[in-house]
Amino acid sequence: MATGLSGLISWIVIIATGVISYQGFKNHFFFEKYEFGVEKVRLYRDYKRLVTSGFLHVNWMHLIFNMLGVYFFAGLLIAQLDWYGFLLVYFASMVGGNLLSLIIYKNQGDYTSVGASGAVNGGIFATIALDPGIRIFFLPGWLFGLLYIGLTIYGVRSKRDNVGHEAHLGGALIGMVVAIALQPVALFENYITILIIAVPTLVFIYLIITRPHLLLIDNLFYNQHQNHYSVDHKYNENKFNQQQEIDRILDKINKRGMNSLSQKEKQMLREYSKK
């Protein structure tokens, strides 16, 4: 880990994530309010979730694993880019990972996710782009990066688990891009490592966005032919249900008068009249 202000910044990220995640463990409503959700972002334009979801985790193991990633790689990245560069990589990767998930699952309104994995992967791959000689789990950085991208692509393609591989992939790519933008010399010094990681990642992202039918396969957890609950479907259903409720309230007023309405019904009527 880095020392001084740089070390303090990384610890602030870890502590803030721990506190917010713990609040999510205790309070289901808090968790739902800030988790990433395709419907909430696309339909309701609640863009803050692209960031807030990165501070929530499913359980202690999920939280600890991600924060260990911050602990071990923040110092290396801060040494290369200073504390502000680390923060830029971290948050850009967090948002980038969620945006890729949003693109891939744009028609699956019920898709949700949480976790700092996209941001952590961005930090790891930014470090690899700047220092390919770094060893990760006894492997050279370039080899670890290539193997990890391969496993992540397989995870996205097969849907064999409940892991947000898309966010990992998007975060890793954005992390490398931001690091190179901050230190362009790395592109010339480490172009081989950057290319062997970036090219298959970009090709896969292009294919899964433009030709998903070529990549998604049927297995126990995923069926290409299943009907997904799309955002548009959800929107139309919400509009229908709202109209049904308003019709019920108006009918109640007609039969019993305005005073028969509950506070909730009056509030709903007021909100509807503003539209």
- pLDDT tens, position by position, 131-156: 998 888 888 888 888 898 888 887 77
In a domain, 65, yes or no: yes
Which tens digit of pLDDT belongs to each residue from 44-94? 899 999 999 999 999 999 999 999 999 988 888 998 998 999 999 999 999
Query: Are 180 and 255 in a shared domain?
Result: no
Q: At what angle do helices 141-158 and 191-210 cross, to 10 degrees?
A: 10
pLDDT, position 224: 44
Three-state DSSP class for residue 126 = helix
Name the pLDDT band for 226 (thresholds 50, 70, 90): very low
Q: Which of 133-142, 200-209, 226-235, 236-245 is predicted least confidently?
A: 226-235
Confirm if 115 and 188 have CB atoms less than 8 A apart.
no
Query: Are 184 and 58 in a shared domain?
Result: yes
Q: At what angle do helices 191-210 and 117-130 cross, to 10 degrees?
A: 140
Q: Say which residue the tokens 């479907």 belong to.
A: 233
Query: Are 183 and 247 in a shared domain?
Result: no
Q: Looking at the predicted structure, is the pLDDT value of residue 30 above 60?
A: yes
The model's pTM: 0.75
Query: Are 248 and 127 in a shared domain?
Result: no
Domain carrying residue 92: 4-214
* E strand residue ranges, the chain: 36-37, 112-113, 135-136, 139-140
Distance, C-alpha 175 to centroid of its chain: 14
What's the whole-number mean pLDDT along residues 236-242? 58
Query: Are 192 and 235 in a shared domain?
Result: no
Which residues, 6 or more positions from 213, have their beta carbon under 8 angstroms from its beta carbon? 224
Query: Are 84 and 114 in a shared domain?
Result: yes
In angstroms, the Cα distances linking 77 to 55, 102, 182 are 20, 27, 12
pLDDT, position 160: 55
Q: With pLDDT > 70 as the criterion, what percentage of the chain qualifies?
A: 82
Torsion of CA 186, 3, 140, 156, to 10 degrees: -80
In angstroms, the Cα distances linking 233 to 81, 108, 195, 239 are 45, 10, 41, 10
β-pairing, 36-37 vs 112-113, is antiparallel
Query: Are 18 and 102 in a shared domain?
Result: yes
What's the whole-number mean pLDDT along residues 240-261? 77
Query: Are 23 and 85 in a shared domain?
Result: yes
Across all residues in the chain, what is the average pLDDT?
A: 83
Rounded to 5 degrees, what are φ and ψ at 113? -160, 160
Query: Are 135 and 262 in a shared domain?
Result: no
Name the pLDDT band for 236 (thresholds 50, 70, 90): very low
Query: Are 145 and 259 in a shared domain?
Result: no
pLDDT, position 1: 46
CATH number of the domain where residue 205 is located: 1.20.1540.10
Q: Looking at the predicted structure, is the pLDDT value of residue 218 above 50?
A: no
Q: With pLDDT > 90 as the criterion, what percentage of the chain qualifies?
A: 44
Rounded CA separation 74/257 (Å): 64
Handedness of CA 191, 193, 196, 202 (dihedral sign): negative
Query: Are 195 and 252 in a shared domain?
Result: no
Q: Looking at the predicted structure, is the pLDDT value of residue 112 above 80?
A: yes
Query: Are 192 and 77 in a shared domain?
Result: yes
Which residues, 6 or more positions from 257, have their beta carbon under 8 angstroms from its beta carbon? none
As for how many domains the chain has, the answer is 2
Rounded CA separation 90/84 (Å): 10
